[in-house]
Amino acid sequence: KNWREDTGAEVQRGGQGVVRRVHRLHGTEFGALKELRSDAPQSSERRQRMKKEVIGLRRAQGAGIPCVLDSNT
């Protein structure tokens, strides 16, 4: 693991996922970790929506747009 969840960081929950603030263990970078919610039924539709988000973020560029560091889609 290269990242650790920030303690005390606010967790954001949405319809399909949970977003947590994380920081790199050896460095000053921070980011967001988005995971499919564990309390929701896992479906192929839910995974497809997440995959579309990843594809869109990888294509988008510009100030304020996060880059995708890793994905298991």
Q: Which of 30, 28, 27 is nearest to 5 (CA)?
A: 30
What residue type is assigned to position 54 of the chain? V
DSSP string computed for 18-66:
EEEEEEETTSS-EEEEEEE-TTSPP-HHHHHHHHHHHHHHHH--STTPP
Question: What is the structure's pLDDT at 41?
Answer: 61
70 pLDDT above the threshold of 60: yes
Averaged pLDDT, 41-62: 82
Q: What is the pTM of this model?
A: 0.66
Q: Say yes or no to pLDDT of 43 above 80.
A: no
More confident residue, 55 or 7: 55
